[in-house]
Structure 1
Amino acid sequence: MKNVLKLSLLSSVAILALTGCGLSPSTGTVPAVGPGKIKPVDEASDAPAVTVTSKSFTEQLLLGKISVIALKAAGYEVTDLTNVPGSQPARQLLLSGDASVLWEYTGTAWLTYLGHEKPVVGEKAQWEAVQKEDVANGIDWGKPAPLNNTYAMAMNEKTAKRLGITKLSQLKTLDKKDLTFCVDPEFNSRRDGLTPMLEHYGIDRGKQVSENNIGLYDVGAIYQATASGACDFGEVFTTDGRIKALNLTVLEDDKKYFPSYNAAPAFNGEFLKENPEVKEIMGKIAPLLTDEVLMELNYQVDVVGREPSDVAFEWMVSEGLVSKP
């Protein structure tokens, strides 16, 4: 409880600091939008207000812009408060009611916000646990998307062909010289990082994986290091567009080591009581958001260099969720 209180106080300080610096709606507009599968709702005839927030990395910006576009199509007066720097400030906006909806990750909520040390095994079970517990904080969770932006290990094309493996459980069948890893310093030392992962898959760090076979890199540099062959296996995030850009192959986590980080819409409870139809709107979007979809959308922003709002709008039109006016 003390840790939760401490986090709450720190978050409040962060929000006050942001507010004092003039926290304002996101820069960058979304295109004009018409209805599709998402239509104006009767209750929205008086254009009730809704505020959408997100964190500041690419995938969160995309999910935030998708929500902004969807709610505009549904007839709401939308304040775009996406691109908030940091998980805790974005969470605090939702808790305080200064934001109405935020796409959040189940693993982040369970381990970071709710303070649990171990994840719940299984994507559905993890979401159910978060949804049940977070109600006490005034947060109501919508159904999760299939996308699971969790950790993974990836190989470049040459390594994948040479080793011929597709699953993490097959690592233990390899020669020691092939067990080389590129990871960031945090993942190298954290209790749900590299060493426990190796143990989970029956590999002894030290005996089978020497320290000389572990290279430490900044998170962003790992992708290129893996692609160039600096190591056989690199730590990646499953929906990162650089996986596609660099033609990396992700190993299946067949013994379910990594926590589930499924994205789901989280709502301020008081707002949702007055606007229950918003949950239904997000429910039309969530099933369409797969790892493959977000990898492509992330790729369009991070590699091609397009604006998140344009990429989000184009995808929503292609799915028939909204239309061009």
Structure 2
Amino acid sequence: MNTPTGRVIVSAAALSIALAATGCSTAPTPDGSGELAGASLIVGSKEFTEQLVLGQITALALENAGATITDETGLTGSATVREALVRGELDIYWDYTGTGWVNILGNTPSDLPDDLYGAVSEADAKNGIAWLEPANFENTYRIATSEQFASEHGIETMSDVAAYVKAHPTDGKVCAASEFIARDDGLPGVEHAYDFAFSEIVELDFNLIYTQIGDTCSFGEVFSTDARIPANSLRVITDDLGFFVEYLGAVTLRQETLDTYPAIADIFAPIAEALTIPTITALNGKVDIEGEDPRDVAEEWLLAEGFIG
């Protein structure tokens, strides 16, 4: 692997939008009825916008079915949320097939089965964790640059990025969040796959990256369903070697919880089907661009789709 001399990792101050676990509860349906009447469930999520929206969709859908919900959304980091689920500190949250395959199950990004969801759900069942049927959206990692920078330098693919950074190391700065910097399916893996290394890494809170691409950094980590990509005139760079793993969103919960409350699968099946890429991107944009509260966004969508009433 070609690593430039003097490469450094620059850390911005520990800026985190992670929400502290609130422990607040929402009431069940007023008459105590519903498929989950009498259930008490703890809903979690990771800290970024899409996860906050999905967490509130989950909480509201379960509440509508009669459950009493404790809101523990906004936890920092995939490992934190997963460990909380395994330990019984959470009952349910959304995760992604790529995270399941690489970070949870310990496989490599290059060792992908044809049916990633099937392989992840089957393997994780041995850990007592159930994966419900995935949604109709994928939110994978990508590298982006500004439209202006891409046009000026003819950058369309990650192979173009590798060649450009090798030839112009002073322009080889990338903005990324701590998790992406450390994950095998993130920065280390993509650098290895394309045989290059960014000359400098600026570690930022994920939500700051979008406005810093083209300013602090020539390149940056993004999520493919993020509405801030077009809002900030960014170009998502084509992963021409197919390095990035498929990240289908799916509800995860302990099997014992699903066995106790099998209606949970029925509740989320139509919700998952309705969550397409344009839909989740629009919901993310309502939070990140229009400044709406994730719970309000989730409730508005669920009501409009007829999933709650």
| Corresponding position of 1:8 | none
Distance 1:183 1:274 in 2: 44
- Out of 182, 198, 208, the position equivalent to 2:174 is 182
1:156 to 146, 154, 157: 146
Classify the secondary structure of the residue corresponding to 1:137. Answer: coil
How far does the alpha carbon of each residue in 1:61-80 deviate from its partner, in whole angstroms, 9 at most, with x for none?
21110011112222333333
- Which of 132, 151, 154 pairs up with 2:122? 132
SS at match of 1:146: coil
Match of 1:64 among 39, 46, 55: 55
240-249 or 161-170, which deviates more: 161-170
| Other-structure match for 1:54 | 45
Contact 2:94-2:249 at 8 Å conserved across structures:
yes
Instruction: Map Cα deviations across residues 51-94 of structure 1 (whole Å, 9 max, x no partner).
Output: 32223332222111001111222233333332334434432332
Provide the rounded CA distance (Å) in 1 between the counterparts of 2:278 and 2:173.
Answer: 25
Aligned equivalents of 1:189 and 1:86: distance in 2?
A: 11
Partner of 2:190: 197
Q: 2:144, 2:69 → 1: CA distance?
A: 39
Where is the helix percentage greater, Structure 1 or Structure 2? Answer: 1
User: What do you get for the CA RMSD once the two structures are aligned?
Assistant: 3.6
- Aligned pair count reads 283
For residue 37 of structure 1, what is the aligned residue in structure 2? none
- The match for 1:121 among 98, 112, 121 is 112
CA distance in structure 1 between the aligned counterparts of 2:40 and 2:136, rounded to whole angstroms: 29
Shift of 1:296: 3.0
SS of the residue aligned with 1:131?
helix
| 8 Å Cα contact 2:21/2:74 also seen in 1 | no
Alignment partner of 2:212 out of 215, 222, 225: 225
**TM-score, L = length of structure 2:** 0.74
Give the superposition deviation at 1:139: 0.8
Q: Which runs of at least 4 in structure 1 moved beyond 6 Å after TM superposition? A: 172-175
CA distance in 1, matches of 2:239, 2:269: 28
Q: Give SS of 1:255's match.
A: coil
What is the CA-CA distance between 1:278 and the residue it aligns to? 0.7
- The answer for the alignment partner of 1:318 in structure 2 is 304
| Structure 2 alignment gaps of length 5 or more | 1-19
8 Å Cα contact 2:175/2:212 also seen in 1: no
Q: Percent identity of the aligned residues?
A: 35
C-alpha distance after superposition, 1:137-180 (max 9, x if no partner): 11111112233332212122223444566443555787945974
> What is the rounded CA distance, in whole Å, between the counterparts of 2:132 and 2:75 in structure 1?
21
Alignment match, 1:309: 295
CA contact (8 A) 1:52 1:64 kept: yes
Q: Distance in 2 between matches of 1:279 and 1:120?
A: 29
Between the aligned partners of 1:185 and 1:54, the Cα distance in structure 2 is 17
SS of the residue corresponding to residue 127 of structure 1 reads helix
Distance 1:164 1:319, change over 3 A: farther
Q: Is the 8 A contact 1:182 1:222 kept in 2?
A: no
Instruction: Using the TM superposition, give the Cα deviation of residue 100 of structure 1 relative to its aligned residue in structure 2, in angstroms.
Output: 2.6
Contact in 2 for aligned 1:110/1:119 (Cα 8 Å): no
- Comparing 256-265 with 178-187, greater Cα deviation is found at 178-187
Which residue of structure 2 lines up, in the alignment, with residue 25 of structure 1? 23
Moved more, 305-314 or 218-227: 218-227
**1:30-51 CA distance string (max 9 Å, x none):** 9x999xxxxx85x44x443333
Q: 1-side partners of 2:151 and 2:94: how far apart?
A: 37
Partner of 2:84 in structure 1? Answer: 93
Q: Please report how far the alpha carbon of residue 280 of structure 1 lies from its aligned counterpart in structure 2 after TM superposition.
A: 1.8
Show structure 1 runs of 5+ residues with no match: 1-21, 35-39
SS of the counterpart of 2:133? Answer: coil
CA displacement at 1:307 relative to structure 2? 1.3
Shift of the 68–181 alpha-carbon distance from structure 1 to 2, 3 Å rule, reads: same
Contact 1:54–1:102 (8 Å) recurs in 2 = yes
Map of 1:280 onto structure 2: 266
CA contact (8 A) 1:99 1:268 kept: no
- Secondary structure at the aligned position of 2:41 is classed as strand
